[in-house]
Amino acid sequence: MSSMTSAKFAEKFISLIEECLEIYDNDDNRMLRDMLHSTEMQSKIESAYHDRCGLESEKIDTESFITGTPINLKNPSTVMGKKAKIDYEREQKESNGFREACKWDDTSTNNSEVGQMFGFVQQGKNVNIIQIHTITRIESNKKRRKQWDIIPHKIRNVLHLSPMIDQLPWTEFIHKYLPTWKKDCKHILRGTKRCITTYKK
pLDDT of residue 173: 94
pLDDT of residue 186: 64
- For the chain, give the number of residues: 201
pLDDT of residue 198: 92
In terms of pLDDT, which residue wins out, 182 or 137?
137
Q: What is the mean pLDDT of residues 60-79?
A: 82
User: What fold characterizes domain 65-196?
Assistant: 2.30.130
Q: Which amino acid is at 98?
A: F
In terms of pLDDT, which residue wins out, 114 or 190?
114
Which of 45-54, 70-79, 128-137 bottoms out in mean pLDDT, i.e. has the lowest?
A: 45-54
pLDDT of residue 2: 45
Query: For residues 122 and 20, what is the distance between their CA atoms, to the nearest angstrom?
Result: 58
Say yes or no to pLDDT of 65 above 80: yes
Contact 114, 61 (CB under 8 A): no
Which of 35-44, 106-115, 139-148, 179-188 bottoms out in mean pLDDT, i.e. has the lowest?
A: 35-44
Task: Please state the domain extents for the chain.
Answer: 6-53, 65-196
Q: C-alpha distances in angstroms, 120 versus 21, 24, 53, 103, 193? A: 54, 59, 33, 11, 11
pLDDT of residue 59: 44
- Rg of the Cα trace of the chain? 22
Look up the pTM and report it. Answer: 0.68
Average pLDDT of the residues of the chain: 81
Instruction: Note the pLDDT tens digit of each residue in 102-159.
Output: 999 999 999 999 999 999 999 877 889 999 999 999 999 999 999 998 888 999 999 9
Q: Residue 165 CB: number of other CB atoms within 10 A?
A: 14
Say yes or no to pLDDT of 58 above 60: no
